[in-house]
Chains A and B, each alone.
Chain A
Amino acid sequence: MLRNYLLATLRNLARNRTVSVINIVGLAIGIAAALLIALYLRFEYSYESFIPGNERIYRMSIESRSAPGFPGAVWDTGDFWMAEHLRNDYPEIEHSARLVDQWFSIDAGQLEFHEQVYTADPEFFRMVRVKSIAGDPATALDTPDGVVITRTIARKYFGNEPALGKRLEVARSFPLRVTAVIEDLPSNTYFNFRIVASGKAQFSTLGLRDLFRRPGVAFGFHTFFSLRPGADIARIDADMPAFMARHYDADTTKSTIIHIYKLADVHLSPPGRWPMSPPVDPRTLSTLGLVGLLVIVLAIINFVNLMTARATQRATEIGVRKSAGAGRGDIMLQFLGEAFLYVLASMLLGMALVEIVLPWFNAMLDTGEEIYPGATLTFQYWRDPHLAGGLAAAALLLTLLAGAYPAFVMSAFSPAWALKRGAAPGGASHVRQVLVVVQFAALIGLAFATLVIHRQTTFAMNDGLRINRDQVVLLHFNLATGATDGFMDAIKAIPGVRGATGAVALPTNYNISALTFSYAGNPPALLQFGATDYNFFEFYGLKPLAGRLASRQYGTDELSAGKVLQELSVTLNESAARQLGFKSPQDAVGQALSLFGTVPFPIPARFTVAGVVPDFPIDSLRGAIQPSMYFVDTTQRRIVSIRLDGQKIPEALAAIDDVWRRMGEPHAVSRWFLEQYYHRMYLDVLQQRMVLTTLSAVAVFLAVLGLFGLSIYTAQRRTKEIGIRKVMGAGTGNVMALLLWAFSKPVLWASLLAWPVAAWVMSRWLDGFAYRVPLGWWWLPAATLGALAVALLTVSAQSWLVARASPSSALRYE
């Protein structure tokens, strides 16, 4: 009996080759797309799984608030002292440790590179137990010259030679000894270290206890702790306000909130400043998951539709088999078995597609940066029982869905009825219509989502940034004094350099300092506080909204080391002016601000607002732009921005490197394009756009495949009707219009379903951005028109063939 069923299935498949291929390939593509998304989501939700006991490790964040109603600033780091205080205050804490990163030149004799170097308390690797290749990480940082490096770094500096015991020099001044080599960190981890030296090293800020004995909070120290087995974090979390009160002054305690995150959740937590690696917005993942689901739903709808359409033409066979003695169970077994064969073929093809496409998908997810490599997905179902089980369950579910109508509905037809009809009744066609409507609703929704994400990304990368970032390369100085005037002049003199400026920090990073100011008794405001060159704002194309920019004409515009001014003219951004209580930027010009509280270093007596510039995103468009104050200090040019002539970039870069060698710091040049930083900031959105665009293309392709298959069946089913219409006088155009209208109706119904849902979902997605594009009124109709165009183009060819057929051949067919 099974052989008979198998033969019938295979020959039916061969006889209806086109539709069979459409069916199998369509479902395979849907399966492959959904599998890739599922693998990606699993990756994103599996952070830190490689660390034994990671569920007991936590990270601290500090939120600093200036006034109620205004956003606080969150740092993904702790204070200098917090790790020590935690260990002393809470017996349930097993380990606590800090890491801090700086950029240094590292050389191993022949090779020298600029690297991100972490220094860590020796406890760190006793808490974070990574896989070792050589040496013992747990004790590797106990000596001041100990350094732990990854396999990649070992190979970079020492080739195939064992690295353990070898020497590395930091900043050409501090020798280190490789005391452990660890496996490269997987890409699903918050940690991004490749070189970790001991916190006892001379160059590490972790040992500067005297420097940090002062009021306030010193940000910048990544702070982690682990609990003893069985301990509960709730008590520590609830005690944080008291913890602050015990160890910090009243002002700091009042304005600081500590957040504790489980290490495994850090990757998905709200972004703060200076994270070790960029987090992902869970909404992004939800969106991707939803889209992946939509694509597989589209594929399944196609598959079920086509299988059902084929099955309905086999009512006669059901009648014959039943009249020959087949029971309902035999018919069910036959059609479910047939569906299973199709699903199996699709599943195998889909899995093969995943294998083929995975390297490209991983390349798309790759950030291109050594320190933030991006997701690396693997598809090893033979070693992963969960994955294998999921695939088997999916195959079963698909079999039931695809075979449901013939197996459970058609098998119940009475033999007489089935033989008389030859084809199943209109109920099946109604089900198919509903499925087509749902399919188009998904397609319209997906097209709309892609359009919104595309517009928001473009806005974020262009209009929203508000600064001119064309061809800007950045040089990074380690020492606080930064670039000298002579260095700047030498850079500006290079042919191919169109301008240069300096600042204490990148335009993409927050400044190190934040101080609280007030105006005329209004509530105080916490302002980011940073030094720039005179021409910083002109360089980046920002014109003042009110007042003026800094100028050498005015004696109060520059703060210099060793010279304390009575009055310093400063520039505010829009948010700062607003938070200080000014009704408009103009109102702020000429007003004097007071420092709130005291600071342990000399400052001007008065801060006068010289001008107000537009807000520009410092970190990302996801977070509100922080209120900021800028002043001129040409002795703090730690970041030099250089605009290049697009025609002469290689020559200009070579000349810049030469100036560095002659006049820069005694280590390898540290140089990046500004574009790289923005790329990193918006990486998740850019990747999302790419993935969504790809998925939309897949969805359109699936819709086209499904429609094409359905149009073939429709043509077969309506051949007699069309023949009669033509005999009655209908022309080719009339018949075309009839058939095209039949396929247009589902699109219009689909719009009614898709529009409210799509608008709500994307509106919520846009809520994740502090600065966003408005939803255009024409976007949804455009998505509908697009879907309509797809539908009509797909079915028009088949409709044309049917419409042109002679009536006699149509009626003879019956």
Chain B
Amino acid sequence: MLKLKQIGKVYRTTEVETHALAGIDLEIRGGEFVAIMGPSGCGKSTLLNILGLLDNPSSGHYEFFGEDVTGLGEKQLTAVRRAAIGFVFQSFNLIDDLSVEENVEVALLYRDVPARERRERVAAALERVGIAHRARHLPQQLSGGQQQRVAVARALVSNPKVILADEPTGNLDTANGNAVLDLLTAISKLGTTVVMVTHSLTHAAIADRTVKLLDGRVASETQLAA
């Protein structure tokens, strides 16, 4: 369970103070597929970063599967991320100098996984997303859809409790986008919590619940009909 209570996030420069999030209360159950929607600048990505422990809230409390992670230091946040969270980004964010299998392996490098087990898990992840035949290729040799599959494999390989996807289909055509969503849906059905930021109503419709944000606050929540 992910529990956010009165979460706020303020960005400050010397001249400007921006309230990206204000008073967010949100609970996400284990295994749930939640879509977060809203207009540009409403705080979707900020919320995702906080959920994924990539950023700290300015106020409020965050409980991550029973552990209060509010105010944890960088080292401790890293440890939690390492143990439980996988990410899929809109712009794929693959490392250009590493091959497909090496990119996926990055997710296991910092988890004390022995080399042999890493190879096996990477191979399984690539197989699962249907990109194993391109294991030795570099990212620039792949299409956008293929790169996103690699990113999904990277998120999966560590068997996380939560996968956070920030507009995973934003740079893909319809067919590839649907393929990625199918992957995420399948992952969710196996018990992994998936939180996805999206602009697309169609894509949001496959989630169990849609949370709409407006001006940094939760405007509405829509449950998928059972």
Contacts and interface: CB of A to CB of B under 8 A. Distances in A.
B89 interface: yes
A324 B102 CA distance: 13
A78 B87 CA distance: 86
Interface of A: 1, 4, 7-9, 11-12, 15, 316-317, 319-328, 330, 414-417, 419-420
Given A323-B54, A325-B110, A327-B74, 9 more contacts: A4-B105, A9-B97, A11-B98, A320-B94, A321-B110, A323-B52, A324-B87, A324-B107, A420-B45
Contacts of A316: 93
A415 B110 contact: no
Contacts of B94: 320
Nearest to A8: B97
Interface stretch (B36-44, B75-83, B205-213): B75-83
Contacts of B78: 322, 325-328
Contact of B107 (A8, A9, A11, A325): A325
B187 interface: no
Contacts of A4: 98, 102, 105-106, 109
A400 B85 CA distance: 33
Contact of A12 (B74, B75, B89, B97): B97
Nearest to B103: A320
Contacts, number: 79
Contact of A324 (B55, B75, B110): B110
Nearest to B94: A320
B93 A320 contact: yes
29 contacts: A1-B109, A4-B98, A7-B97, A7-B98, A7-B102, A8-B95, A11-B97, A12-B97, A317-B95, A319-B93, A320-B93, A321-B106, A322-B54, A322-B78, A322-B81, A323-B52, A323-B85, A323-B87, A324-B107, A324-B154, A325-B81, A325-B83, A325-B111, A326-B78, A327-B74, A328-B74, A330-B110, A414-B55, A419-B54
Contact of B81 (A11, A323, A417, A420): A323
A416 B109 contact: no
A13 B199 CA distance: 39
Interface of B: 45, 49, 52, 54-55, 74-75, 78, 81-83, 85, 87, 89, 93-98, 102, 105-107, 109-111, 154, 158
A8 B85 CA distance: 24
A9 B97 CA distance: 8
Contacts of B158: 324-325
A636 B52 CA distance: 101
Contacts of B93: 316, 319-320, 419
B70 to A, nearest CB: 16
Contacts of A330: 109-110
Nearest to A412: B74
B61 to A, nearest CB: 19
A576 B201 CA distance: 105
B95 A320 contact: yes
A325 B97 contact: no
Given A15-B96, A325-B111, A416 B106 contact: no
A15 B87 contact: no
B221 to A, nearest CB: 24
B28 to A, nearest CB: 19
Given A15-B96, A323-B87, A414 B109 contact: no
Contacts of B111: 325
A440 to B, nearest CB: 31
A320 B110 CA distance: 12
Max chain A Cβ within 10 angstroms of own Cβ: one of B49, B89, B109: B109
List 4 A-B pairs, minimum CB-CB distance, nearest first: A325-B82, A325-B110, A11-B97, A416-B54
Contacts of B154: 324
B97 A320 contact: no
Contact of A416 (B49, B83, B96): B49
Contacts of A325: 78, 81-83, 107, 109-111, 158
